[in-house]
Amino acid sequence: MKRIGIIGSGAMGNGIAQVCASAGCEVLVYDHDPVALEKARQQLSAILNRLLAKSKLNDEQAAAIRQSVRFVTAMDEFADRELVIEAVIEQLDVKQRIFTEIENIVSLDCVLATNTSSLSIASIASACNRPERVIGIHFFNPAPLMALVEVIPAVQTWPDLAAKVRAWVESLGKLPVLAKDTPGFIVNRVARPYYGESLRILDEGIADAAVIDHAMVSLGGFRMGPFALMDFIGHDVNYRVTESVFAAFFFDPRYKPSLTQKRLFEAGYLGRKTGRGFYRYTDGGLPEERANHSLYHRSDPQLLERIFQRVLAMLINEAADALHYGIASKEDLDLAMTKGVNYPKGLLKWADEIGIDSIQQIMDDLYDVYREDRYRLSPLLRAMSKEKRTFYGHKNERDDGT
């Protein structure tokens, strides 16, 4: 698949175009808005110029990418494409309308893909007369820098198409993981407790945002604390994904959004992009509250440890449940979290290091306190604890040595 069409000229569509062109593909980028297309063209040129200035590309490579990407305002030009990737707004009706239109333009064997981060691939595919050629190919932002790509077949998808797409993703120099078509796929499902449980700790007044961030960065080795990360992503994006996953899972309390974050979203305090979110941001982009390290020094080390253990246990529990329900393999689950959101370790490997019994104890203690289904332990973890199994090792010896 070398002739690629991309629908949507925003940051994601443009980034995917750059990735494909860098791998030798011939790329058409479509947008109905000529102004948006021109902006995308200028942004791609600016990115290539920066890469040239940093010697990450030579003149020949940059020229080849420029020649390989063409911006078009007529979707009819996609008639000869072998693969079309939709990268527009996260609204199901919009995506379905696009797939209905593009199906009547491309050839019968053209693969149709959506870059959705959380919507049902089956629902998008249902808009097509030939839903079997529809698949999810979820790049992470910024696409040129992020190695991970989630490949998500729908229930209608041709059985061999996922393997074909996975090989194509590898040809781009990316790392594909295979995920079942469930809400949030791998990353946006498994990562929810990083935000959700941190918000719960904040809402309960146990600690403030800066202290919780400090706990996760200093003890867990995460690159960004949950509140700094939500501000970086933007609450218009992060809150909406949480809300979408919550609804898609039939309002399972494990994914329940926070009213605190909702109020920030409603107020337009979206994080760094607006200068205010959980933190207020200076002109240089540094959170003002985090510039004052006295907060950290006043923090009780035992409190920091409790925060870290609670959030990490919830993350591991979510990853284990994803494995329990066959969302992905253990290897792909761990790869997704280290390469998709830069976690310091794969969560299932981390569980082996900490000990399954320890995770079970933390989760059971939380359930005893709250008596909420939110804190139910994954059946897989309970079974593994009972049978003395680990995710990556062999069955542990019994205490009596037999």
188 classed as catalytic = yes
Q: Which of 150, 197, 235, 299 is catalytic?
A: 150
Exposure on the CB side of residue 217, measured as CA atoms within 13 A:
15
Q: Which of 68, 103, 138, 299 is catalytic?
A: 138
Choose among 234, 222, 227, 223: nearest CA to 212: 227
The answer to whether 8 and 73 have CB atoms below 8 angstroms apart is: no
Q: Which of 9, 22, 115, 117 is catalytic?
A: 117
In the β-sheet with 69-72, what is the strand arrangement from edge to edge?
Answer: 69-72, 26-30, 3-7, 83-86, 111-114, 134-139, 148-153, 175-178
The answer to whether 178 and 328 have CB atoms below 8 angstroms apart is: yes
In single-letter form, the type of residue at position 392 comes to: Y
- Sequence-distant (6+) residues with CB within 8 A of 7 are 13, 30, 31, 75, 84, 85, 86, 87, 88, 98, 102
What does the alpha-carbon distance between residue 264 and residue 298 come to, in Å, rounded to a whole number? 27
Q: Which of 188, 238, 244, 258 is catalytic?
A: 188
The answer to whether 323 and 333 have CB atoms below 8 angstroms apart is: yes
What does the alpha-carbon distance between residue 175 and residue 150 come to, in Å, rounded to a whole number? 9
What does the alpha-carbon distance between residue 191 and residue 311 come to, in Å, rounded to a whole number? 10
What does the alpha-carbon distance between residue 235 and residue 240 come to, in Å, rounded to a whole number? 8
Secondary structure element (H or E) that encloses residue 96, with its range:
helix 92-103
138 classed as catalytic = yes
Tokens of 185: 């796929």
The answer to whether 103 and 125 have CB atoms below 8 angstroms apart is: no
- Sequence-distant (6+) residues with CB within 8 A of 118 are 90, 183, 184, 185, 188, 241, 244, 245, 248
User: 107 burial class (0-12, 13-18, 19+ CB within 10 angstroms)?
Assistant: exposed
In single-letter form, the type of residue at position 150 comes to: E
Q: Which residues are catalytic?
A: 117, 138, 150, 188
